[in-house]
Amino acid sequence: MFESINTMLTETLGPLGPLIAVGALGLILIVLTLPTLLKKRADPMDRLKRDGVVTGGKRDGNAALRQNESSAAKLDRFKNFLEPQNEEEYSATRLKLMQAGYRGKGAVRTYHFAQFVLGIGFLLLGALYALVQSATGNASGQLILLSVAIPGGIGYYLPRYWVNRRLNARKLEIENGFPDALDLMLVCVEAGQSLDQAIVRVSRETKAGYPALAEEFETVANELKAGKERVTVLRDMAERAGAQDVSSFVTVMIQSASFGTSIADALRVYADEMRDKRVMRAEEKANKLPTKLTLGTMMFTVPPLLLILIGPSVYGIAVTLGEFNIGG
């Protein structure tokens, strides 16, 4: 199918027919998308503020400053295009970015904007490369299409790869630092401090070694100071962290508060389990190491060894056969 389309475009538009067709298709898609991007309904509240109705007939002195918002706010006019319209998809993307450490108001919008810009940018670079290859006459139609489509796909999925990498790194950091944080929290609680004070102290002490975990505890402390319920705050922490250890800790704390048991006893038992779990993770990685080294050993050790052992014999056989052929 690609060959027939390539032949038809080449016969109709010349050697650069496939590239011209791809460029025309992209231009048509952009023209069709522009009305949706630029269409933005006027907010009635903004119109009332502009007319001075909301401020009691007086112009707000900071109106000019509000109009000059940050670069992230400039993407508001494109929010219908840059944000998922499905609420479930938007919530999933928002949660994923929060777990990766991006908690800004326009994080989802910036994420999709980065996907759009990088996708278009890499697509243009691929089109430029395909144009150079077509000028030399060494490229087929299928190669031109791949040269344009593959860079565009890479640019589109690059932000997703970066976010997933940040998410996994942050989750690993939280899991590694959580046993130490629990030990410190247990010491604070047994010393007479309340759980809220212990969380504040843990967030301050763990900031140097585990900044992601310290950020989570600091957020919990600020929400508790603001008057939010402890159960809700702890559940939000488990959702933001995305780690199973934190979710289990939150469950233990909620159950301890519900049944009226000692928080220090619950922390002591759970801290022991977290330490054992960290040791088990280290042992698991150590047991996987010989299996991972097997491939490297086979690739870099066995071939030179076979060359040393069998090489002289193969050379001797080759010389013998050569002499036999010459003598015959």
pLDDT of residue 31: 65
The radius of gyration of the chain's CA atoms, rounded to the nearest angstrom, is: 31
Q: What is the pLDDT of residue 60?
A: 45
Token duo for residue 13: 């538009």
Angle between helices 263-300 and 302-327 (to 10 degrees): 10
**pTM of the full structure:** 0.64
Residue 184 has pLDDT above 50, yes or no: yes
Average pLDDT score over the chain: 77
Is the model's pLDDT at 118 over the cut of 70? yes
Tell which residue, 119, 102, 120, has the closest CA to residue 154: 119
Give the pLDDT score at 328: 56
How far, in Å, CA of 190 to CA of 198, rounded? 10
* Cβ-proximal residues to 102 (8 Å cutoff; 6+ apart), any chain: 110, 111, 163, 166
C-alpha 6/C-alpha 192 separation (Å) is: 78
pLDDT score of 199 more than 50: yes
In which band, very low, low, confident or very high, does the pLDDT at 46 lie, cut at 50, 70 and 90? low
Return the biggest CA–CA distance within the chain: 115
Give the list of residues 6+ apart from residue 120 with CB closer than 8 angstroms, or none.
152, 155
The pLDDT score that the predictor gives to residue 59 is 43
**Cα gap 66→237, rounded to integer Å:** 32
272-323 per-position pLDDT tens digit: 888 888 888 888 888 888 888 888 788 888 888 888 888 888 888 888 877 7
Quote the CA–CA distance of 319 and 12 in Å, as a whole number: 62
Provide mean pLDDT across the span 77-102: 75
- DSSP codes of every residue in 145-201: HHHHHHHHHHHHHHHHHHHHHHHHHHHHHHHHHHHHHHHHHHHHHHTT--HHHHHHH
